Structure 1
């Protein structure tokens, strides 16, 4: 049964609560499960999923006690013991960006698998974060002062600089090379945005503008003041003839620092806003 509007609003409010503040550290596991509920627009029995992931964390802790703390312990448990892997065969399937489905199917997109790896690593007490790496999401964990880059999509294997360069060149072309920003950590809020953006892009590609609009609502619950999301929400709501929602989005966009700094974009938003307001008269 689809969620009613009160249930949808309650889940969006919970997502906003989880992502409130600077967004550097968020309960990624719980936030990603809420995204799954909202993506499917139906209730999900989360208890088995939580129990399953708790079993993974216990198994990792047991393995670390027996064999020591090493970066490949995550892969030993998540990929080898539990069979999680990247879905390269049906990569664009929306299930790969539905975190609850990823747990059920044990396969998904790089960023969805990364959320599981980050949650389990943090439960072990390891400092962990996503990286600002283009086109293919990677994570970094710190164990006893040493940092390691892992590729959850590729069975959680550790990546050295040469392997990262190869990944980068497959995404950006053979002339691309690693630079310091590719090793920058990203806030947890941006990890969630990257997960949901996979949904939005696939819905937009199908020209499912109503679905893309709901996806943007979820992204704006994660990052309410993100200028590019507000601008796009204005455009999509205008396309759907949801004039009041489009007006609200453009008004919020014009209050952002991005709008104040980018005169051309500010003028475009102002012109669209005026046209929408005229349509209400």
Structure 2
């Protein structure tokens, strides 16, 4: 277990069992997105054997690589990924049970061969990278896609819909269909996004699911990661503190609630949060 010695005691580093997530927090490129996804999944599945899933994914990549001739164009490689993943293996977007939390955990996606846009994209992205394609995420409103290439040669890929290859107008039509209104996507919305944005979106999906079902215990590990990944997002700090209070962990609530008040003194709920912080400190003081 990772940690440092301080005053004769071993102080365990945050996320000691998630070395790839730690690298992302330190902004040490290139982080391995599929390993981060598996580390997040281990929060919900403590017995998860990450290497077993990495071997399965590597086997898929080898199968696809064997079918790609030397010097294959991106569209040829994407076509082979689509054939193996969606035809031979039968992966598909989970339309009927979209908000099932299993759709957000990559181990479940591999086992059940179904998921939501971002989890299927992480799997697709991993395969593409192992085949030599330089790919990026596209953090669209209400949807997540991938992209490869630049400028007018950019190809957008929608793994939730069978790896459909799209241009800019196709992305607009897809998002418009999901939102039920016309959409004109900006260059910013179609721009490549980094691993930190992808991981944050994965975590926020899980947060919304667990908050909706009031599964606060499971939400706590998700919220801890979100707060660490977004240290300057005061709302994420507040939500972490409130979750800790909800779970009767007042000592853990003090720091994030104080961070929230320090960054947002004029917030509408500042007085409520301040009162809760005082109560948490009083509770902890009685332990001494």
- Counterpart contact for 1:25–1:189, Cα < 8 Å: no
SS in 2 for 1:130: strand
- What residue in structure 2 maps to residue 252 of structure 1? 259
1:125 aligned onto 2:128: no
Aligned: 1:27 with 2:32:
yes
* Structure (1 or 2) with the greater helix fraction: 1
Aligned partner of 2:5 in structure 1 is none
Q: Contact conserved, 2:139 with 2:198, CA < 8 A, in 1?
A: no
The residue number in structure 2 matching 1:11 is 17
1:113 to partner: Cα distance: 0.7
Give the whole-Å Cα distance in 1 for the aligned partners of 2:237 and 2:217.
16
Residue in structure 2 matched with residue 107 of structure 1 by the alignment? 114
Contact 1:19 1:223 (C-alpha < 8 Å) held by counterparts = no
Q: How far did residue 68 of structure 1 move?
A: 2.1
Whose radius of gyration is greater, 1 or 2?
Answer: 2
Secondary structure of 1:140's aligned partner: strand
Which deviates more, 101-110 or 188-197? 188-197
Where do 5+ consecutive residues of structure 1 fail to align?
1-5
User: Is contact 2:25-2:228 (8 Å) kept?
Assistant: no
Paired position in structure 1 for 2:3: none
Matches within 5 A, 1:1-281: 10-12=16-18, 14-22=19-27, 25-40=30-45, 42-65=46-69, 68-69=72-73, 70=75, 71-142=78-149, 146-254=153-261, 259=263, 263-264=266-267, 267-268=270-271, 269-281=273-285
1:169-206 Cα distance to aligned partner (Å, 9 max, x none): 23434143222222022220221222222222111111
TM normalised by structure 1 equals 0.83
C-alpha deviation, 1:140, in angstroms: 0.7
Provide closer, same or farther for how the CA distance between residues 100 and 59 of structure 1 changes in structure 2, counting only shifts above 3 A. Answer: same
When the two chains are superposed, the root-mean-square deviation of aligned CA atoms in Å is 2.8
How many pairs does the alignment contain? 269
1:127 touches 1:143 (CA, 8 Å); kept in 2? no
SS at 1:90 equivalent = coil
Give the CA deviation at 1:218.
Answer: 3.2
Displacement of 1:137 in angstroms is: 0.9
Q: Is the contact made by 1:18 and 1:31 (CA closer than 8 Å) also made in structure 2?
A: no
Give the CA deviation at 1:118. Answer: 1.1
Residue 134 of structure 1, CA deviation: 1.1
Whole-angstrom CA distance in 2 between matches of 1:76 and 1:170 = 25
Which structure has more RCO (C-alpha within 8 Å, separation ≥ 6)?
1
